[in-house]
Chains A and B, each alone.
Chain A
């Protein structure tokens, strides 16, 4: 590959990796969610610096270089979207569970508050504990 193209891809990959690390450093993204971006940066580096890698993949797939890059980009994006879908689904389930528990616990609290024992004065309660 053209040395200028290698340099361009390498700089782009490094910038991307630096941006991802900065997001983690600022605690905007948890490390586990950035790992997939790290894999992408690594893959980009392999394609850029291992001169034989791209031609080998082209021979293997029968695709031109442009098509190969487009396909890899599409596969990565699809993988990322799928990962995010799984994460969103998991978080959604947790939100539902928390919402349900919240409602049930608030109901229990209200019920306990309305019982005669709970309506005794705080001073009496403290005295009883002591």
Chain B
């Protein structure tokens, strides 16, 4: 059986993390759940522990990238076959996780992105966010020579090889786009699968319009520099055992 870890980076998600975890347990009963508490000041840790999840409690806020990398480090250290990233705010329905796993098994790629835009799902982004999503989708599609529609999606599944890469190479803030160019440059295979996403169940997004501008500038610069960087090929010892076919 596939050794599966679901990683949920969480910052002040005490209000909604309990039902999110409960639903994941219902949909993926064999998965281990790891909540990476990114310096929350509410009861996120208590709620996650009560829901039966493992909790890595970061002593201060590192940002989504630092939190996710903690999860990938844990996954790498404990030999997980697949790590799925899920938002703790309920935007990523637990019943969609299986779609990522099925696509990974079918195509044998290293990273599957849950995309809101492969098919019309009715998702509506704000103006600034929508501009950013389209901009990075086109930029990454050009740099990776494949069509990518939702490069900012944080709903993803990584296999063992991608976990090993991401555990050592992950940007601290706004890491989703940068991680794709990093994986592509290192020779990992990426694909998208259409998924449905929901509005967040509670709280507000940390990305304000002003931050969106910073986000676009910072990430675009990092992506372009990343595209010029030396590629680091996948670790040879990881590659053979990484694909679900090999597992089967």
Contact = CB atoms under 8 A, between A and B. Distances in A.
Contact of B62 (A100, A106, A107, A111): A100
Nearest to A107: B56
B60 A99 contact: yes
Interface string B56-68: 1111101000100
Contacts of A103: 36-37, 56-59, 70
Contact of B54 (A96, A99, A107): A107
Interface string A72-116: 000000000000000000000000100111111011000100000
A85 to B, nearest CB: 15
Contacts of A107: 54-57, 74
Interface string B66-78: 1001100110010
B172 interface: yes
Contacts of B58: 99-100, 102-103
Contacts, number: 39
Interface residues of B, number: 17
Contacts of A104: 56, 70, 73-74, 77
Given A99-B58, A99-B66, 18 more contacts: A96-B69, A96-B172, A99-B59, A99-B60, A100-B56, A100-B62, A102-B59, A103-B37, A103-B59, A103-B70, A104-B56, A104-B70, A104-B73, A104-B77, A106-B57, A107-B54, A107-B57, A107-B74
Contacts of A100: 56, 58, 62, 66, 69-70, 73
Contacts of A99: 58-60, 62, 66
A99 B172 CA distance: 13
Interface of A: 96, 99-104, 106-107, 111
A101 B56 CA distance: 10
A3 to B, nearest CB: 51
A103 to B, nearest CB: 4
Contacts of B59: 99, 102-103
Contacts of B73: 100-101, 104
Contacts of A102: 58-59
A111 B74 CA distance: 14
Nearest to B73: A100
Contacts of B77: 104
Nearest to B74: A104
A41 B21 CA distance: 61
A96 B66 contact: yes
Contacts of A111: 54
Nearest to A98: B59
A111 B73 CA distance: 17
A103 B55 CA distance: 9
B42 to A, nearest CB: 17
Contacts of B37: 103
Nearest to B34: A107
A96 B70 CA distance: 9
16 contacts: A96-B62, A96-B66, A99-B59, A99-B66, A100-B62, A100-B66, A100-B69, A101-B73, A103-B37, A103-B57, A103-B70, A104-B73, A104-B74, A104-B77, A107-B54, A107-B55
Interface in B40-57: 54-57
Q: Which of A96, A101, A104 has the largest number of chain B CB atoms within 10 A?
A: A104
Contacts of B66: 96, 99-100
